[in-house]
Amino acid sequence: MPDPADAAPATDASLLRRFRRGEDDAATELYLRYAGRLRALAAAQASPDLQRRVDPDDIVQSVFRTFFRRAAAGQYEVPAGEELWKLFLVIGLNKIRAVAAFHKAARRDVRQTAAGGAFDQAADAAPAADDAALNALRLTIDELLAPLPPGHREIIELRVAGHEVAEIAKLTGRAKRSVERILQEFRESLRGQIHDAD
């Protein structure tokens, strides 16, 4: 009989399924698997000024709150052979940018403190991890497109390819107003997937 200690670690997809069935240990395992990487991301992406105001652990907790709430609602799936890191990366980067924008605003502006230039550099830099974030965004878009009617998918794919609304309306034989409505609905769905609703 094989030793359970020799068993391969659970996949992210199986942990997500177990979490949805109410198995709390699956949530714990996902947290332990990704919290350290998220903490390192939060620490690396924040300037020293921002770090004095925001603990990276607060970002980590916020990412997991968003993830578990949406996962319980069935909003996330893990394709075969994939892991959740790309999704956590997108959520984490969005949280960090939102916190940075909040603390950069008017009276809270961290640039008013010493070494404020470092904040600008951290807030405006394009992190190397953005390629992974872009891939996760593409994955999210693909998942949102899958259940849509073919006509809606065509409109969105044309827009992603850079076509203007009037041109899309002409190519698809739809009214410009219909194209705009379909694109707006899709933007709202996408926003709901990648931004915190807290």
Tens digits of residue pLDDT in 81-136: 778 888 888 888 888 777 766 656 544 444 454 444 444 454 444 444 455 555 56
Domains of the chain: 4-126 (1.10.1740.10), 148-198 (1.10.10)
- Residue 114 has a pLDDT of 45
Q: Name the one residue in this structure whose structure tokens are 């916190």.
A: 99
Q: Encode pLDDT of 133-179 as tens digits.
A: 555 666 667 667 777 788 888 898 888 777 899 999 999 999 999 99
Mean of per-residue pLDDT scores for the chain: 75
CB 127 within 8 A of CB 45: yes
Mean pLDDT value across residues 35-53: 77
CB 138 within 8 A of CB 190: no
Q: How many residues does the chain have?
A: 198
Phi, psi of 35 (to 5 degrees): -60, -45
Residues 75, 179: Cα–Cα separation, whole Å: 25
